[in-house]
Amino acid sequence: MPNIPWEKRPSDSSNIVWRYSKNPIINWNPIPGVARIFNSAVIPHNGEFIGIFRADHRNGRPYLHAGRSKDGINWQIDTDKINWIDKNGNPVPPGYAYDPRIVKIENTYYVTWCTEFYGPTIGVGMTKDFKSFIRLENAFLPFNRNGVLFPRKINGNYIMLNRPSDIGHTPFGDIFLSESPDMQYWGRHRHVMGKGDIGWWQSTKIGAGPIPIETTEGWLLFYHGVICTCNGFVYSMGTALLDINQPDKVLYRTGDYLLTPELEYETVGFVPNVVFPCGALYDADTGRITIYYGAADTYTAIAFTQVDELIYYIKENSVIDE
Ligand code: BMA
Protein backbone atom coordinates (compact mmCIF):
# COMPACT_ATOMS: atom_id res chain seq x y z
CA MET A 1 0.00 0.00 0.00
CA PRO A 2 2.32 2.78 -1.19
CA ASN A 3 -0.48 5.40 -0.97
CA ILE A 4 -1.18 5.20 2.76
CA PRO A 5 -1.29 8.62 4.43
CA TRP A 6 2.19 9.78 5.34
CA GLU A 7 4.02 12.81 6.61
CA LYS A 8 7.66 13.03 7.62
CA ARG A 9 8.57 13.33 11.28
CA PRO A 10 8.91 17.05 12.09
CA SER A 11 12.56 18.05 12.09
CA ASP A 12 12.35 19.26 15.70
CA SER A 13 10.90 15.95 16.97
CA SER A 14 12.60 12.76 18.07
CA ASN A 15 9.35 10.99 18.90
CA ILE A 16 8.94 7.40 17.70
CA VAL A 17 5.30 8.18 16.86
CA TRP A 18 4.41 11.59 15.50
CA ARG A 19 1.03 13.18 14.76
CA TYR A 20 -0.31 14.35 11.43
CA SER A 21 0.08 18.13 11.29
CA LYS A 22 -3.50 18.58 9.99
CA ASN A 23 -5.21 16.51 12.70
CA PRO A 24 -8.00 15.92 13.37
CA ILE A 25 -9.09 14.40 10.07
CA ILE A 26 -12.75 14.07 11.19
CA ASN A 27 -14.30 16.88 13.20
CA TRP A 28 -17.53 17.52 15.16
CA ASN A 29 -20.87 16.84 13.37
CA PRO A 30 -19.30 15.11 10.35
CA ILE A 31 -22.52 13.82 8.75
CA PRO A 32 -26.23 14.54 9.29
CA GLY A 33 -27.51 13.19 12.57
CA VAL A 34 -24.06 12.18 13.82
CA ALA A 35 -22.31 14.24 16.47
CA ARG A 36 -18.91 12.56 16.63
CA ILE A 37 -16.87 9.92 14.77
CA PHE A 38 -13.87 8.45 16.59
CA ASN A 39 -12.32 5.08 17.67
CA SER A 40 -12.62 3.76 14.11
CA ALA A 41 -10.87 1.23 11.87
CA VAL A 42 -9.64 1.28 8.28
CA ILE A 43 -8.45 -1.24 5.71
CA PRO A 44 -7.02 -1.10 2.17
CA HIS A 45 -9.50 -2.06 -0.54
CA ASN A 46 -8.90 -2.06 -4.33
CA GLY A 47 -6.09 0.49 -4.06
CA GLU A 48 -8.24 2.78 -1.93
CA PHE A 49 -9.49 2.59 1.66
CA ILE A 50 -12.60 1.52 3.49
CA GLY A 51 -13.38 2.51 7.04
CA ILE A 52 -15.75 1.14 9.64
CA PHE A 53 -16.56 4.10 11.83
CA ARG A 54 -17.90 4.49 15.31
CA ALA A 55 -20.52 7.18 14.88
CA ASP A 56 -22.19 8.58 17.98
CA HIS A 57 -25.62 9.76 16.85
CA ARG A 58 -27.31 12.83 18.27
CA ASN A 59 -29.41 10.55 20.48
CA GLY A 60 -26.13 9.72 22.21
CA ARG A 61 -25.99 6.12 21.00
CA PRO A 62 -23.09 4.75 18.96
CA TYR A 63 -23.56 2.82 15.68
CA LEU A 64 -21.24 1.60 12.93
CA HIS A 65 -21.09 3.36 9.58
CA ALA A 66 -19.01 2.40 6.55
CA GLY A 67 -16.97 4.98 4.66
CA ARG A 68 -14.67 5.25 1.67
CA SER A 69 -11.53 7.24 0.91
CA LYS A 70 -9.00 7.53 -1.90
CA ASP A 71 -6.25 8.91 0.32
CA GLY A 72 -7.08 7.62 3.82
CA ILE A 73 -7.57 11.20 5.05
CA ASN A 74 -10.67 12.59 3.34
CA TRP A 75 -13.62 10.29 3.99
CA GLN A 76 -17.06 9.88 2.48
CA ILE A 77 -19.00 8.31 5.30
CA ASP A 78 -22.40 6.71 4.69
CA THR A 79 -25.22 8.63 6.31
CA ASP A 80 -27.00 5.33 7.07
CA LYS A 81 -25.62 2.98 9.66
CA ILE A 82 -24.59 -0.54 8.65
CA ASN A 83 -27.67 -2.75 8.54
CA TRP A 84 -26.61 -6.21 9.59
CA ILE A 85 -28.45 -9.27 8.31
CA ASP A 86 -28.21 -12.84 9.55
CA LYS A 87 -27.09 -15.76 7.40
CA ASN A 88 -30.66 -16.18 6.09
CA GLY A 89 -30.90 -12.56 5.03
CA ASN A 90 -33.12 -11.42 7.91
CA PRO A 91 -32.37 -8.04 9.49
CA VAL A 92 -30.63 -8.13 12.87
CA PRO A 93 -31.95 -5.47 15.28
CA PRO A 94 -29.37 -2.74 15.65
CA GLY A 95 -28.14 -2.51 19.20
CA TYR A 96 -25.47 -0.05 20.18
CA ALA A 97 -22.12 -0.67 18.50
CA TYR A 98 -18.77 0.89 19.25
CA ASP A 99 -14.99 0.66 18.90
CA PRO A 100 -14.89 -1.43 15.66
CA ARG A 101 -11.88 -3.23 14.23
CA ILE A 102 -11.65 -4.62 10.70
CA VAL A 103 -9.42 -7.32 9.26
CA LYS A 104 -9.16 -9.35 6.06
CA ILE A 105 -8.63 -13.07 6.57
CA GLU A 106 -8.54 -15.29 3.48
CA ASN A 107 -10.77 -13.16 1.18
CA THR A 108 -13.30 -12.28 3.87
CA TYR A 109 -13.48 -9.04 5.82
CA TYR A 110 -14.37 -9.49 9.48
CA VAL A 111 -15.58 -6.70 11.71
CA THR A 112 -15.51 -6.97 15.49
CA TRP A 113 -16.96 -4.39 17.84
CA CYS A 114 -18.48 -3.89 21.23
CA THR A 115 -22.09 -4.97 20.92
CA GLU A 116 -25.18 -5.00 23.10
CA PHE A 117 -25.95 -8.43 24.59
CA TYR A 118 -27.29 -8.05 28.13
CA GLY A 119 -24.34 -5.71 28.55
CA PRO A 120 -21.31 -5.16 26.36
CA THR A 121 -19.53 -8.02 24.63
CA ILE A 122 -17.79 -8.68 21.32
CA GLY A 123 -19.95 -8.75 18.20
CA VAL A 124 -18.61 -10.36 15.03
CA GLY A 125 -19.71 -9.80 11.45
CA MET A 126 -18.38 -10.40 7.97
CA THR A 127 -18.61 -8.97 4.50
CA LYS A 128 -17.04 -9.76 1.17
CA ASP A 129 -18.23 -6.74 -0.77
CA PHE A 130 -19.04 -3.99 1.77
CA LYS A 131 -22.63 -4.09 0.51
CA SER A 132 -24.12 -6.92 2.54
CA PHE A 133 -22.92 -7.25 6.11
CA ILE A 134 -23.63 -10.60 7.76
CA ARG A 135 -23.85 -10.92 11.49
CA LEU A 136 -22.16 -13.96 13.06
CA GLU A 137 -22.40 -15.24 16.63
CA ASN A 138 -21.09 -13.02 19.40
CA ALA A 139 -17.67 -14.25 20.42
CA PHE A 140 -18.01 -14.07 24.19
CA LEU A 141 -20.37 -13.88 27.12
CA PRO A 142 -20.86 -10.43 28.60
CA PHE A 143 -18.89 -8.49 29.61
CA ASN A 144 -16.06 -8.00 27.18
CA ARG A 145 -14.57 -5.21 25.06
CA ASN A 146 -11.73 -4.68 22.60
CA GLY A 147 -12.06 -7.81 20.45
CA VAL A 148 -9.16 -7.71 17.99
CA LEU A 149 -8.59 -10.50 15.44
CA PHE A 150 -5.19 -11.51 14.08
CA PRO A 151 -4.97 -11.18 10.28
CA ARG A 152 -4.43 -14.91 9.73
CA LYS A 153 -5.07 -18.19 11.45
CA ILE A 154 -2.31 -19.35 13.76
CA ASN A 155 -1.81 -23.09 14.24
CA GLY A 156 -5.08 -23.65 12.36
CA ASN A 157 -7.30 -21.38 14.47
CA TYR A 158 -8.62 -17.84 14.34
CA ILE A 159 -7.22 -15.84 17.24
CA MET A 160 -8.88 -12.91 18.98
CA LEU A 161 -7.42 -10.64 21.62
CA ASN A 162 -10.07 -9.46 24.06
CA ARG A 163 -10.54 -7.74 27.36
CA PRO A 164 -13.02 -9.13 29.90
CA SER A 165 -14.69 -6.18 31.60
CA ASP A 166 -17.75 -5.06 33.54
CA ILE A 167 -21.02 -3.38 32.61
CA GLY A 168 -19.76 0.08 33.60
CA HIS A 169 -16.55 1.92 32.93
CA THR A 170 -14.38 -0.99 34.12
CA PRO A 171 -11.73 -0.03 36.65
CA PHE A 172 -9.63 -3.12 35.78
CA GLY A 173 -8.56 -5.09 32.74
CA ASP A 174 -5.89 -7.27 31.14
CA ILE A 175 -5.52 -8.48 27.55
CA PHE A 176 -6.48 -12.12 26.94
CA LEU A 177 -6.49 -14.23 23.79
CA SER A 178 -9.07 -16.79 22.62
CA GLU A 179 -9.02 -19.26 19.73
CA SER A 180 -11.71 -20.51 17.37
CA PRO A 181 -11.67 -23.17 14.64
CA ASP A 182 -14.72 -21.68 12.89
CA MET A 183 -15.31 -18.06 14.03
CA GLN A 184 -18.21 -19.36 16.11
CA TYR A 185 -16.92 -21.31 19.12
CA TRP A 186 -14.20 -19.57 21.12
CA GLY A 187 -11.97 -21.20 23.73
CA ARG A 188 -8.42 -22.09 24.82
CA HIS A 189 -8.34 -18.71 26.57
CA ARG A 190 -4.91 -17.43 27.52
CA HIS A 191 -3.68 -14.42 29.44
CA VAL A 192 -1.46 -12.23 27.23
CA MET A 193 -0.49 -9.27 29.37
CA GLY A 194 -1.64 -7.31 32.36
CA LYS A 195 -2.11 -3.73 33.37
CA GLY A 196 0.92 -2.78 35.29
CA ASP A 197 2.97 -0.44 37.33
CA ILE A 198 5.75 -0.67 34.73
CA GLY A 199 4.15 2.56 33.57
CA TRP A 200 1.58 4.36 35.67
CA TRP A 201 -0.16 5.43 32.44
CA GLN A 202 -1.27 1.77 32.06
CA SER A 203 -1.87 0.98 35.74
CA THR A 204 -5.70 0.69 35.65
CA LYS A 205 -6.45 -1.32 32.49
CA ILE A 206 -5.20 -2.09 29.01
CA GLY A 207 -6.88 -3.17 25.77
CA ALA A 208 -5.68 -4.21 22.31
CA GLY A 209 -5.87 -1.55 19.61
CA PRO A 210 -5.46 -2.10 15.86
CA ILE A 211 -5.15 -5.52 14.19
CA PRO A 212 -1.64 -6.82 15.07
CA ILE A 213 0.94 -6.31 12.30
CA GLU A 214 3.05 -9.32 11.30
CA THR A 215 6.78 -8.52 11.31
CA THR A 216 9.93 -10.64 11.24
CA GLU A 217 10.36 -9.84 14.94
CA GLY A 218 6.88 -10.86 16.05
CA TRP A 219 3.33 -9.50 16.05
CA LEU A 220 3.47 -5.76 16.52
CA LEU A 221 0.67 -4.71 18.85
CA PHE A 222 -0.48 -1.20 19.65
CA TYR A 223 -2.73 -1.01 22.68
CA HIS A 224 -4.36 1.53 24.94
CA GLY A 225 -3.41 1.85 28.57
CA VAL A 226 -5.41 3.72 31.18
CA ILE A 227 -4.61 5.47 34.44
CA CYS A 228 -7.29 6.58 36.89
CA THR A 229 -6.48 10.09 38.02
CA CYS A 230 -8.38 12.30 40.47
CA ASN A 231 -10.15 13.76 37.42
CA GLY A 232 -10.98 10.42 35.82
CA PHE A 233 -9.44 8.07 33.27
CA VAL A 234 -6.63 9.08 30.91
CA TYR A 235 -6.10 6.89 27.82
CA SER A 236 -2.65 6.62 26.19
CA MET A 237 -1.11 4.28 23.60
CA GLY A 238 1.63 1.72 24.16
CA THR A 239 3.19 -1.10 22.18
CA ALA A 240 4.43 -4.69 22.48
CA LEU A 241 5.79 -7.52 20.34
CA LEU A 242 4.11 -10.93 20.62
CA ASP A 243 5.57 -14.28 19.58
CA ILE A 244 4.61 -15.16 15.97
CA ASN A 245 3.57 -18.77 16.64
CA GLN A 246 2.45 -18.40 20.21
CA PRO A 247 0.97 -14.91 20.44
CA ASP A 248 0.02 -15.13 24.11
CA LYS A 249 3.77 -14.86 24.74
CA VAL A 250 4.94 -11.25 25.12
CA LEU A 251 8.48 -10.84 23.81
CA TYR A 252 8.91 -7.14 24.45
CA ARG A 253 6.81 -4.37 25.92
CA THR A 254 7.64 -0.75 26.51
CA GLY A 255 7.21 0.88 29.89
CA ASP A 256 6.70 4.35 28.37
CA TYR A 257 3.68 5.37 26.32
CA LEU A 258 4.08 6.16 22.63
CA LEU A 259 1.28 8.71 22.52
CA THR A 260 -0.62 10.44 25.33
CA PRO A 261 -3.23 13.21 25.26
CA GLU A 262 -1.32 16.46 24.77
CA LEU A 263 -2.93 18.54 22.05
CA GLU A 264 -6.27 20.28 22.34
CA TYR A 265 -8.20 17.78 20.21
CA GLU A 266 -7.00 15.02 22.58
CA THR A 267 -7.41 16.82 25.89
CA VAL A 268 -10.67 18.68 25.23
CA GLY A 269 -13.84 17.10 23.87
CA PHE A 270 -16.78 14.91 24.84
CA VAL A 271 -14.49 12.81 27.06
CA PRO A 272 -11.25 14.69 27.71
CA ASN A 273 -7.84 13.00 27.67
CA VAL A 274 -8.45 10.03 25.41
CA VAL A 275 -6.12 8.64 22.76
CA PHE A 276 -7.71 5.39 21.57
CA PRO A 277 -6.14 3.52 18.58
CA CYS A 278 -8.40 1.14 16.60
CA GLY A 279 -6.83 0.98 13.14
CA ALA A 280 -3.48 0.92 11.36
CA LEU A 281 -2.25 0.80 7.77
CA TYR A 282 1.13 -0.72 6.99
CA ASP A 283 3.22 -0.50 3.84
CA ALA A 284 5.74 -3.33 4.05
CA ASP A 285 7.99 -1.89 1.32
CA THR A 286 8.66 1.42 3.02
CA GLY A 287 7.98 0.26 6.59
CA ARG A 288 5.50 3.10 7.05
CA ILE A 289 2.69 2.69 9.55
CA THR A 290 -0.29 5.04 9.83
CA ILE A 291 -2.21 4.70 13.08
CA TYR A 292 -5.86 5.80 13.33
CA TYR A 293 -6.99 6.85 16.76
CA GLY A 294 -9.97 8.41 18.41
CA ALA A 295 -9.22 11.65 20.25
CA ALA A 296 -11.28 12.75 23.28
CA ASP A 297 -14.22 10.56 22.12
CA THR A 298 -14.85 13.34 19.60
CA TYR A 299 -12.36 13.36 16.72
CA THR A 300 -10.56 10.94 14.41
CA ALA A 301 -6.83 11.58 14.18
CA ILE A 302 -3.82 9.85 12.66
CA ALA A 303 -0.18 9.42 13.63
CA PHE A 304 2.82 7.87 11.94
CA THR A 305 5.73 5.60 12.76
CA GLN A 306 8.40 3.62 10.93
CA VAL A 307 8.41 -0.12 11.62
CA ASP A 308 12.17 -0.74 11.90
CA GLU A 309 12.73 2.26 14.19
CA LEU A 310 9.77 1.26 16.32
CA ILE A 311 10.92 -2.34 16.72
CA TYR A 312 14.43 -1.20 17.61
CA TYR A 313 12.88 1.16 20.17
CA ILE A 314 10.67 -1.54 21.69
CA LYS A 315 13.59 -3.92 22.08
CA GLU A 316 15.88 -1.28 23.56
CA ASN A 317 13.25 -0.05 26.01
CA SER A 318 11.48 -3.27 26.87
CA VAL A 319 10.18 -3.76 30.39
CA ILE A 320 8.21 -6.95 30.89
CA ASP A 321 5.86 -7.05 33.85
CA GLU A 322 4.19 -10.45 33.76
C1 BMA B 1 -14.08 3.09 26.91
C2 BMA B 1 -14.81 2.92 25.59
C3 BMA B 1 -14.16 3.79 24.54
C4 BMA B 1 -13.95 5.20 25.00
C5 BMA B 1 -13.29 5.22 26.37
C6 BMA B 1 -13.15 6.62 26.91
O7 BMA B 1 -14.73 2.38 27.93
O8 BMA B 1 -16.15 3.33 25.75
O9 BMA B 1 -15.00 3.81 23.42
O10 BMA B 1 -13.11 5.87 24.09
O11 BMA B 1 -14.04 4.44 27.27
O12 BMA B 1 -14.40 7.22 27.12
Q: Which residue of 224, 260, 276 sits with most ligand 1 atoms within 8 Å of its CB, as the best mutation to test the pocket? A: 276
Q: How far is the CA of 75 from the centre of ligand 1 (A)?
A: 23
Instruction: Assign 3-class secondary structure to the chain.
Output: CCCCCCCCCCCCCCCCCEECCCCCCECCCCECCEEEEEEEEEEEECCEEEEEEEEEECCCCEEEEEEEECCCCCCEECCCCCCEECCCCCECCCCCEEEEEEEEECCEEEEEEEEECCCEEEEEEEECCCCCEEECCCCCCCCEEEEEECCCCECCEEEEEEEECCCCCCCCCCEEEEEECCCCCCEEEEEEECCCCCCHHHCCEEEECCCCEEECCEEEEEEEEEEEECCEEEEEEEEEEECCCCCCCEEEEECCCCECCCCHHHHCCCCCCEEEEEEEEEECCCCEEEEEEEECCCEEEEEEEEHHHHHHHHHHCECCCC
Low-confidence ranges of the chain (pLDDT < 50): none
Q: How far is the CA of 284 from the centre of ligand 1 (A)?
A: 31
Residue type, 218: G
Q: How far is the CA of 121 from the centre of ligand 1 (A)?
A: 14
pLDDT per position as a tens digit, 40-77: 999 999 999 999 999 999 999 999 999 999 999 999 99
In this structure, the residues whose C-beta lies within 6 A of any atom of ligand 1 are: 39, 98-99, 169, 235, 271, 274, 276, 294, 297
Global model pTM greater than 0.95: yes
